[in-house]
Every structure is written in C-alpha cells, then in structure tokens.
Structure 1
C-alpha cells in the first residue's frame, strides 16, 4: 500500500528534542487571547462563574494577567485560573 520514499525526512530529524539550543530543556507554549484578557479586565471587582476543563469555579476577579485570572473565593482564599482552561464565563449577581 505505502512505498518507501528515500527522500523523506525521518521523524527523529524534526522531533522537538532535536530542535533548540538545549534538548533537555522543557519549553512551555501558551497562546494569549487579547480579546478574552480585555473582557476579563472589564470584569475586575465583579463576581463571575468560570466553567473550566476541570469544572465550575465562582469568585470575584481580583486581577487579570495575559495567561491567568486571580479569583477571590468566598470563605476559601484565592484561586489562580489559567485563561487557556476557561470554557465560558458568566457574570453573576452577589
């Protein structure tokens, strides 16, 4: 069905371990959604519910950074939520 092509590049030649100055270093890549960051910054001081990939979390937005949101949880301290893990956001009345 498939024939060997001698001019093809082997997977090991382009693997992530062979690219970059230090093959033993772990590189973290995170995308930033400026529209989401801007929308969340407008909600600072408001109570919101985030549906994340791990479940729902509710709290007051204290701070917004390009990759995470800091929430004040009711009676439980604070939580840092990665924006990349947020599925949807809904403001709630307290």
Structure 2
C-alpha cells in the first residue's frame, strides 16, 4: 500500500525543520510549551521539555518562536 504525504503548510514545515535542535516556544490552542524542538514530522513535532517529550499536532499550533538560549 503506497501512501503519499501532502503537506498542508510546506513553508511552515520547512521553517520548523530549520529550528530543530533549538529552544522554541510553541503556542497551541491549549496552551504553550517551551523546550528543545527534537523532531519535526509532516503532521506533528516533538518538543523536549525538561526530559519529557511533548508530541504536538501541527494542526493545533498557533505560532512558534525561537526561545532564549538556556544558560550553560
């Protein structure tokens, strides 16, 4: 069975890929999540917040901004 992915927002997907590995703030319809953008997939992303992975559907995202760098 062949499946073909069709991206809803290809430019948004590409912008998210450019933020992979960086600290981000993701605002969803249910609240915000701040952490490291661990994975970007066509229909969801994974934000690691203090070692806890949050899987967020792209359809639930309102906006994403790069977060401040964490002090080392």
Q: Which residue of 1 aligns with 2:62?
A: 87
Deviations 1:33-61 (A, max 9, x none): 11111000000010000110001111101
TM-score, normalising length from structure 1? 0.63
Q: Which residue of 2 aligns with 1:74?
A: 50
Cα RMSD for the two superposed structures = 1.6
Q: How many residues align?
A: 64
Q: Which runs of 5+ in 1 are unaligned?
A: 1-30
Runs of 4+ in 1 over 6 A off after TM superposition: none
Deviation at 1:84, TM superposition (A): 0.8
Between the aligned partners of 1:71 and 1:56, the Cα distance in structure 2 is: 11
Match of 2:34 among 58, 63, 81: 58
